[in-house]
């Protein structure tokens, strides 16, 4: 009965038109093309724009944990964002929050993730540090860059335009990191310029964003265990540890086959809903919060740091660095495409796609932009060498695992 009584407890602080911050939640950098009649809400429009953009499609071939997997039953990045959406919607619906908003945030939260998962992220971060970039690479901020500056959709006249999402969705995406271990999640009060945000600096602006943040952690904790078991990462002692953690959660004996994604997520979601209030924030019970962190530590030690992943980590480092160094050497301000074109017969896929990237996002050939009906922002000035290096970083970060490997193999094939 208590669970029924506590449902809709957050409805008064939800991101709905009755919220005093509503106009800020739905604000956009510019106007979307109007329609004579539209049945969708602002957040539904964002959801539609996210699932129709190219970066969303690429998630199906991006690493979640296991690199470039050919196993159809192992989670990729696109499944992960859908798991986050499923968990977020369940929590939001029960608490009385805006389900449309959490769905848009969830499906867009990893659009800027690099190939090869968090290891690819670390590689790009190190390259940027070595090259003297003022900032560093972190996928939450890169996801904001992609939805603000890179991903496009054709408008009614066929011109490619930026996504132009609402503030609330953009905020939930850049603030979603599930790696941080906060005991209580309460939205920040400040309405800030999201492009100035630093990693881990702020909580999301909405309770919906807080829900996505905690759901991101729940989604990867459960599914990583399931996938690692498929690859036989665990021994008898590991399974004994998992069973003990599970029994501490449910207070009863459990069988190994019962320790799966849905088992863990169901228990944690119920615990979160029972222990959260608008005044105290989103909370787990102290006991389950500690158990969740035990699972996180177990996953990190037994999965993320597993020696079986190390050879591919070395390979991923070789691939991304080779691609970066190869493209960097072609820089010649406005003559860069001409230099690239000379070697196109040898590296056809890589050079063709990178030249298209430069035409779409830089000032290297504005006439071509008109011909191709590009109306999106110009974000690289080719007279600036650091802008060119940023173009390479963005281009590589957009790649799927399979595409990165494909174009690397072009480099090593005579």
Last residue of a domain, one of 305, 328, 347: 305
Cα radius of gyration (the chain): 22
Last residue of a domain, one of 305, 336, 351: 305
Residues 252 and 361 in one domain: no
Q: What angle do CA 73, 216, 267 make, to 5 degrees?
A: 80
Does 80 reside within a domain? yes
pTM of the model: 0.94
Contact predicate 84/108, CB 8 Å: no
Does 178 reside within a domain? yes
Residues 48 and 166 in one domain: yes
Residues 282 and 317 in one domain: no
Half-sphere exposure of 230 (CA within 13 A, CB side): 15
Element at 340 (helix H, strand E): helix 336-342
3-state class (DSSP) for residue 154: strand
Residues 341 and 283 in one domain: no
Length of the chain: 414
Last residue of a domain, one of 280, 305, 330: 305
Domain CATH for 257: 1.10.3210.10
Question: Which of 296, 304, 301, 293 is closest to 117 using CA atoms?
Answer: 304
Residues 165 and 273 in one domain: yes
Residues 235 and 372 in one domain: no
Residues 222 and 269 in one domain: yes
Per-residue confidence (pLDDT) for residue 295, from 0 to 100: 87
Report the C-alpha gap between 229 and 235 in whole angstroms: 10
Residues 299 and 318 in one domain: no
Residues 177 and 163 in one domain: yes
Does 144 reside within a domain? no
Does 139 reside within a domain? no
Provide the 10 A C-beta neighbour count for residue 332. Answer: 13
Report the C-alpha gap between 220 and 115 in whole angstroms: 17
Q: Can you say whether residue 281 is alpha, beta or left, with left for phi > 0 and alpha for psi between -120 and 50 degrees?
A: left
Contact predicate 292/284, CB 8 Å: yes
Residues 314 and 287 in one domain: no
Report the C-alpha gap between 288 and 308 in whole angstroms: 30
Residues 7 and 82 in one domain: yes
Half-sphere exposure of 281 (CA within 13 A, CB side): 18
Report the C-alpha gap between 26 and 19 in whole angstroms: 11
Per-residue confidence (pLDDT) for residue 1, from 0 to 100: 40
Question: Which of 234, 257, 227, 247 is closest to 288 using CA atoms?
Answer: 247
Per-residue confidence (pLDDT) for residue 138, from 0 to 100: 93
Does 258 reside within a domain? yes
Q: Which residues neighbour 187 within 8 Å (Cβ) at sequence distance 6 or greater?
A: 203, 204, 205, 206, 207, 209, 210
Task: Report phi then psi at 380, rounded to 5.
Answer: -125, 130
Residues 21 and 85 in one domain: yes
Does 82 reside within a domain? yes
In terms of Cβ atoms closer than 10 Å to its own Cβ (0-12, 13-18, 19+), residue 283 is buried
Question: Which of 286, 301, 287 is closest to 245 using CA atoms?
Answer: 287
Does 176 reside within a domain? yes
Contact predicate 67/118, CB 8 Å: no
Domain that holds residue 337: 309-411
What proportions of the chain, in percent to the nearest 5, are helix, strand and coil?
Answer: 60, 5, 35
Residues of the chain with pLDDT under 50: 1-3, 5
Per-residue confidence (pLDDT) for residue 111, from 0 to 100: 97
Lookup: tokens for 123: 């590689």
Does 141 reside within a domain? no
Q: Which residues of 371-398 are buried (b: 16+ CB within 10 A; e: fewer)?
A: eeebebeebbebeeeeebbbbbbbbbbb
* Number of domains within the chain: 2
User: What does 68-115 look like in DSSP terms, one character per residue?
Assistant: T---TTS-BHHHHHHHHHHHHHHHHHHHT--HHHHHHHHHHTTTTPPT
């Amino acid at each position: 009965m208590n669970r029924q009584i506590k449902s809709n407890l957050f409805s008064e602080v939800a991101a709905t038109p009755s919220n005093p911050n509503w106009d800020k939640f739905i604000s956009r950098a510019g106007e979307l093309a109007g329609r004579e009649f539209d049945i969708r809400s602002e957040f539904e429009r964002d959801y539609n724009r996210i699932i129709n953009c190219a970066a969303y499609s690429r998630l199906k071939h991006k690493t979640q944990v296991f690199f470039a997997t050919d196993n159809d039953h192992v989670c990729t990045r696109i499944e992960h964002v859908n798991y986050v959406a499923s968990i977020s919607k369940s929590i939001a619906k029960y608490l009385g929050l805006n389900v449309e908003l959490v769905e848009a945030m969830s499906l867009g939260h990893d659009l800027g993730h690099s190939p090869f998962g968090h290891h690819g992220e670390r590689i790009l971060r190190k390259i940027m540090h070595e090259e003297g970039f003022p900032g560093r690479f972190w996928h939450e901020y890169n996801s904001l860059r992609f939805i603000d500056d890179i991903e496009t959709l054709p408008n009614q006249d066929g011109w490619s335009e930026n996504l132009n999402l609402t503030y609330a969705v953009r905020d939930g995406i850049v603030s979603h990191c599930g790696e941080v271990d906060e005991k209580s999640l309460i939205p920040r009060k400040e309405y800030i310029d999201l492009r100035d945000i630093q990693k881990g600096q702020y909580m999301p602006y909405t309770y919906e964003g807080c829900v996505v943040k905690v759901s991101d952690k729940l989604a990867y904790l459960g599914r990583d265990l399931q996938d690692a078991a498929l690859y036989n990462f665990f021994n008898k002692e590991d399974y004994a540890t998992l069973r003990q953690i599970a029994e501490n959660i449910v207070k009863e004996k459990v069988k190994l086959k019962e320790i799966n994604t849905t088992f863990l997520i169901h228990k944690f979601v119920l615990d979160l809903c029972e222990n959260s209030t608008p005044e105290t924030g989103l909370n787990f019970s102290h006991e389950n919060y500690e158990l969740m962190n035990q699972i996180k530590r177990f996953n990190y030690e037994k999965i993320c740091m597993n020696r079986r992943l190390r050879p591919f980590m070395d390979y991923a480092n070789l691939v991304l660095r080779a691609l970066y160094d190869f493209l960097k050497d072609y820089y010649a301000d406005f003559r860069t495409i001409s230099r690239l074109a000379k070697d196109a017969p040898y590296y056809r896929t890589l050079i063709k796609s990178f030249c298209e990237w430069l035409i779409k996002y830089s000032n290297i050939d504005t006439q071509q932009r008109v011909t191709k009906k590009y109306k999106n922002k110009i974000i690289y000035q080719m007279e600036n060498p650091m802008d060119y290096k940023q173009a390479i970083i963005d281009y590589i970060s957009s790649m799927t695992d399979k595409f990165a490997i494909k174009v690397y193999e072009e480099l090593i094939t005579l």
